[in-house]
Amino acid sequence: MAPSPRIDALAAASVALAALLLAAPPAFADPAGEPSLRFSRAGDVVAERDLAWMRGAVPGSVVTVFEPYEEREIPFDALPLAPLLDAVYGPGWREEEEILLTCSDGYAPTVPVSRVLAHHPWLAFARADQPGFTVEKRESGEVKTISLSPFYLVWENLDDATVRQEADYGWPYQLVAVDLIRARERFPKMAPPEGSPPEVMKGFAAFRIHCAKCHELNGEGGSLGPELNAASSPVESRDPAWLRAWIEDPSRIRPNARMPALNPALPDRAAVVDQILAYLGAMARARGAAPDS
């Protein structure tokens, strides 16, 4: 029995619809090639928004900052971060603990929400003084041209002594994702044992600020540098004086070291080093005491 014309028409329509769906871009994709940013909460994706959407959601501006890599004033085309987060998450993001910023090269710093609220960060998407979205940065003893795309988080610091003193803390480039997190929930393997001394807990906070952006600890953190605890810890293989000197300024030990010095302008810098070492020691002891170690 031959199929009816109605069935033939329905079948053809189904085939056409399937082809159309397969050809359509995925959710949040940008057919024009606009840069986009993924927004999550506790690891769950909330939205992915392209630059066109973000520019429509919040007014942008040219903001001039003292750029920490080129060490001079540079103007950027940028969007104010706090209003942008309001547009994406609603005001509830202001009650969160930290913001995890993930970059395409594996750099993954965290910034306290309180810092965002107390100062003025901007999401830069272009330089206003040149065609290329790049900076000149010294790495391993030589100056390299670094792409900032798709986004670069910059901070108003011309009249903000605190942010200016903290140098490049919280200035991630090649930014691709933003995640609202609570540190102990997001990094359970990096967190020290419950009841750890205050020095260790301060070291956990300092490690997340200064170290975890590049280093993993127990598999959690950035991926630019080596893992610092899963198999062994530097506190188990290095003399404390050597470790202290390395954290303070690796270039004094290895002239072309890629790892930067701990910010020389950091308040209580020696105490911060002590706290980081206390934290690393506690995590090494916890690994050694684990039943499956």
pLDDT of 15 over the 50 cut:
no
Domain ranges of the chain: 36-183, 187-289
pLDDT of 201 over the 70 cut:
yes
pLDDT of 16 over the 60 cut:
no
Between 3.90.420.10, 3.20.20.70, 3.30.930.10, 3.90.1560.10, what CATH number should domain 36-183 receive?
3.90.420.10
Sorting pLDDT into bands at 50, 70 and 90, what band is 202? very high
Q: Which fold has domain 187-289?
A: Cytochrome Bc1 Complex; Chain D, domain 2 (1.10.760)
Sorting pLDDT into bands at 50, 70 and 90, what band is 50? very high
**Per-residue pLDDT at 127:** 98
State the average pLDDT over residues 108-130: 95
State the average pLDDT over residues 79-85: 98
State the average pLDDT over residues 126-150: 92
pLDDT digits (tens, 9 = 90+) for 234-287: 999 999 999 999 999 998 899 888 898 888 878 889 999 999 999 999 999 998
Secondary structure of the chain in HEC code, one letter for each residue: CCCCHHHHHHHHHHHHHHHHHHHCCCCCCCCCCCCEEEEEECCEEEEEEEHHHHHHHCCCEEEEEEECCCCEEEEEEEEEHHHHHHHHHCHHHHHCCEEEEEECCCCCCEEEHHHHHHCCEEEEEEECCCCCCEEEEEECCEEEEEECCCCEEEECCCCCHHHHHCCCCCCCCCEEEEEEECHHHHCCCCCCCCCCCHHHHHHHHHHHHHCCCCCEECCEECCCCCCCCCCCCHHHHCCHHHHHHHHHCHHHCCCCCCCCCCCCCCCCHHHHHHHHHHHHHHHHHHHHHCCCC
Q: What is the pTM of this model?
A: 0.72
Sorting pLDDT into bands at 50, 70 and 90, what band is 290? low
State the average pLDDT over residues 142-157: 96
**Per-residue pLDDT at 24:** 33
